[in-house]
Structure 1
Amino acid sequence: MDNATRSERSRNAALEAAIRIIARDGPGRLTLDAIARESGLSKGGVMHQFRTKEAVLKALLERQMEHFEEFSTGYMAKVSATSANPNLATQLATVREAATSPNSAALALVAAMVENPGLMMLPREREMKRVAAIKAESADPDLALLRWAAARGLLLSSLFGMSPLSKDEHDRLFARLLDDGQWAGVEQPAKERQTKEQPTKARAAKSGAAPAAKAATPRKRA
Structure 2
Amino acid sequence: MENSARSQRTRAAAIQAALTIITRDGPGRLTIDAIARECGSSKGGILHHFRTKDAVLKALLEHQIEQGESLFDGYLAQSLPGRHEPALEAEIESLRTAAAHPKSTTFAIASALADNPELIAAVREREAKHVEAMKKEAADPSVAMVRWSAARGLALSSILGLCPLSEQERMSLFDLLRDDALWDSAQSCIRRRKEAAPQKEKQLL
TM-score normalized by the length of structure 1: 0.83
Match of 1:130 in 2: 130
Is structure 2 residue 1 aligned with structure 1 residue 5? no
Q: For residues 186 and 134 of structure 2, what CA distance do their matches in structure 1 show? A: 17
Is structure 2 residue 88 aligned with structure 1 residue 79? no
Which one-letter code corresponds to 2:195 in the other structure? T
Distance verdict in 2 for CA 1:132–1:200, change over 3 Å: farther
CA RMSD in angstroms, aligned pairs only: 2.2
Match of 2:173 in 1: 173
Q: Aligned residue pairs: how many?
A: 205
Which one-letter code corresponds to 1:54 in the other structure? D
Q: How far apart are 1:114 and its partner, in Å?
A: 2.4
Q: How far apart are 1:65 and its partner, in Å?
A: 0.8
CA contact (8 A) 1:27 1:115 kept: no
Q: How far apart are 1:189 and its partner, in Å?
A: 8.5
Q: For residues 201 and 55 of structure 2, what CA distance do their matches in structure 1 show? A: 53
User: 1:93-149 deviations in whole A, cap 9, x for unaligned?
Assistant: 111122224624324432343252431111211211211221221122211111100
CA contact (8 A) 2:22 2:105 kept: no
User: 1:69-101 deviations in whole A, cap 9, x for unaligned?
Assistant: 112112212216231111111111111122224
Identity across matched positions, percent: 47
Is structure 2 residue 37 aligned with structure 1 residue 37? yes
Unaligned stretches of 5+ residues in structure 2:
none
Q: Which has the larger displacement, 35-44 or 76-85?
A: 76-85
Which one-letter code corresponds to 2:33 in the other structure? D
Which one-letter code corresponds to 2:158 in the other structure? S
Is structure 2 residue 58 aligned with structure 1 residue 58? yes
SS at match of 1:183: helix
CA contact (8 A) 1:22 1:104 kept: no
Q: How far apart are 1:60 and its partner, in Å?
A: 0.7
Which one-letter code corresponds to 1:106 in the other structure? T
* Structure with greater Cα Rg: 1
TM-score normalized by the length of structure 2: 0.89
Aligned pairs for 1:182-201 (under 5 A) are: 182-188=182-188, 192=192, 194-200=194-200
Which one-letter code corresponds to 1:171 in the other structure? M
Q: How far apart are 1:198 and its partner, in Å?
A: 2.2
